[in-house]
Amino acid sequence: MGLFKLLHGHKARAFEGIPGPEPSFPMGNAGEFLDKTRQPWEVCCDFAHEFGGVTLVWMAGQPALILNDPKLIGEVLESNWTNFYKDAPCKALAPVITGRSLFISNYGKGWNKAHSENPFTTLNQEQFLSQQIKPLQMVIRKDLQHFIDRSASSDIDLYRDMQKLSFHAFSQAFWGQTFGDEVFEWFQSLARTGDRRMQCKIPALLNLPPWRPGFYSARSKWYRMFERLVKESRRKPDHDAPDMLNQALSHGPDLSDAVLAEALATNFFGGVFSGSSTINTALYLLAKHPEERGKLIAALDADLGGTEAYDLETLLGCRQLDFVLREAMRYYPAVPLYLRNSVPEREVKLGDHLLPPNTMIFISNYYLHKFSHHWLQAEKFDPSRWDNGVAEENPFASGYFFPYGRGPRACIGQQYGIFYTKLALATVLLNSTVDLNPAQEFKQHFFFGVMMPKGLKAKFQTRAQCPPSGRSDEIPEPA
Ligand code: HEM
């Protein structure tokens, strides 16, 4: 501590009064985040228990704040959001998802334009979503049938297989077609490089370009394919096609091929990992709580019916499905950690403190989602807690529940994410019986900024009581 204080003590003055663990030379508290037995959001949660809503830590000689206080988080993400920017993932991800991606652009430096012209902003989302039910059900059922067939001889690896199912569903929703295994491999190759760079412990290494040769070939094939698809659709637009590409070409602003291709390609990185994580988490928690699974299946049968020919309002209105997914996201949020920095040009006020320029900030929802002064029996998985007005008191993006983030930079795909996870979970449970041993460990794994349970295995069987194809026109008329 003595040597550390001697070298960095002058930087600590700006943070006087903020508690935190003792730093040691030379790493400060960075060692806590390198500990392989705990994920970074678990470390943030432990600090909240020990030090409260704001903790000062040292990443080597650099001070950083960990926020677990809804009011301070609201200042950073909402009321004062233009004074904070995304730093850490930008350099890491720029070679993977292109520098102009909404994910890694910043306010005043491309974000405003990327946000305002993104199809999620310009298209009528309700109209878009209501047209996705049938095509996505078909894609999900097809993959589910593969799960069922393969279950006869081996287990399904939920980590990888649910990503693939989600990738197929996203291809359909955004590009109007499903892409084969080769394209999925390009996507995985880009994501692995992005993940390695995001988790790189030596920032200077991010000044170097990615070194894996396979990455460049995957990246060039991935973006070339999307630009070609945009070009082709622009030449022969199908105004009635429900996919986002055709809808954006018909009703959106005039974007260049490269910009539209990039916006639609980013959707895969935005939602495949977080969406599949949420579905797997829900399946796991339901397996652990068979009474809740029974309640949900009964509600799906009653509300969505054996025919599955429901509309958007009916899907979104199924309360038990809504409660289960909210509770799964409260319990294990797929995105439990966000990073921001205060702007480099000036000092910025946060609560009672004046932060030095470029102060690094970690924000976690992991602790607040289980804050025992707010949530009754916070450690219990209990979908019914959302009943009787609790869902309305704790909407998405509120102080103690923000799985999709808060403020202007919250998830642009939130509505689609809610829709997709509901549709996928309902389709899986209405069409199959999932045999997932709840004694399996829920191993939280950090990949591409997302908490993904890894190692979960399951077997799928056709659900006997469901009509074989689930199509209303094949159900015999009552005598
Ligand atoms: C369960 C599914 C999802 C979860 C839990 C989730 C969560 C989040 C969170 C927490 C953020 C904010 C991060 C921050 O403040 O630093 C975010 C941003 C974002 N998400 Fe999602 N997301 C999901 C699905 C999607 C989908 C389906 C898409 C696109 C189709 C998407 C695209 C994006 C984009 C582009 C951003 C950056 C927005 C901006 O910075 O303006 N996400 N997401």
pLDDT of 159 above 60: yes
Q: How many angstroms separate the first and last alpha carbons of the chain?
A: 84
CA 400 to ligand 1 centroid distance, Å = 18
Ranking 105-109, 168-172, 318-322 by mean pLDDT, the lowest is 105-109
pLDDT of 467 above 80: no
Whether 353 is in a domain gets the answer no
| Cα gap 159→191, rounded to integer Å | 14
Whether 96 is in a domain gets the answer no
- Residue 472, pLDDT score: 37
pLDDT of 203 above 90: no
| Cα gap 60→58, rounded to integer Å | 6
Per the structure, the count of domains in the chain is: 1
- Residue-wise pLDDT tens digits, 242-283: 999 999 999 989 999 999 999 999 999 999 999 999 999 999
CA 267 to ligand 1 centroid distance, Å = 9
CA 83 to chain centre: 24
- Residue 211, pLDDT score: 85
The answer for residues whose C-beta is within 8 angstroms of residue 246's C-beta and 6 or more apart is 176, 233, 237, 238, 239
The answer for residues whose C-beta is within 8 angstroms of residue 223's C-beta and 6 or more apart is 98, 261, 262, 265
pLDDT of 478 above 50: no
Whether 81 is in a domain gets the answer no
Q: What is the span of the domain harbouring residue 263?
A: 110-334+410-474
Nearest-atom index, ligand 1, CA of 104 = 40
Q: What is the mean pLDDT of residues 123-149?
A: 98
Is 89 near ligand 1, meaning CB less than 6 Å away? no
- Residue-wise pLDDT tens digits, 362-389: 999 999 999 999 999 999 999 999 999 9
Residue 420 contacts residue 107 (beta carbons within 8 Å):
no
Cα dihedral sign for 343, 346, 349, 353? positive
CA 433 to ligand 1 centroid distance, Å = 30
Whether 14 is in a domain gets the answer no
Is 335 near ligand 1, meaning CB less than 6 Å away? yes
CA 404 to ligand 1 centroid distance, Å = 6
Is 269 near ligand 1, meaning CB less than 6 Å away? no
Ranking 45-59, 268-282, 303-317, 397-411 by mean pLDDT, the lowest is 303-317
In terms of Cβ atoms closer than 10 Å to its own Cβ (0-12, 13-18, 19+), residue 202 is exposed
Is 334 near ligand 1, meaning CB less than 6 Å away? yes
Whether 427 is in a domain gets the answer yes
pLDDT of 196 above 70: yes
Is 449 near ligand 1, meaning CB less than 6 Å away? no
pLDDT of 469 above 50: no
Whether 177 is in a domain gets the answer yes
Q: What is the mean pLDDT of the chain?
A: 94
Nearest-atom index, ligand 1, CA of 339 = 16
The CATH number for 155's domain is: 1.10.630.10
Is 410 near ligand 1, meaning CB less than 6 Å away? yes
pLDDT of 470 above 50: no
- Residue-wise pLDDT tens digits, 302-311: 999 867 799 9
Whether 69 is in a domain gets the answer no
Query: Which of 331, 337, 411 maximizes ligand 1 atoms within 8 Å of its Cβ, making it the mutation to test the pocket?
Result: 411
Confidence of residue 212 (pLDDT cuts 50, 70, 90): confident
Whether 187 is in a domain gets the answer yes
| Ordered strands of the 156-157 beta sheet | 156-157, 457-462, 432-435
CA 14 to ligand 1 centroid distance, Å = 33
Ranking 85-94, 133-142, 159-168 by mean pLDDT, the lowest is 85-94
Is 141 near ligand 1, meaning CB less than 6 Å away? no
pLDDT of 88 above 90: no
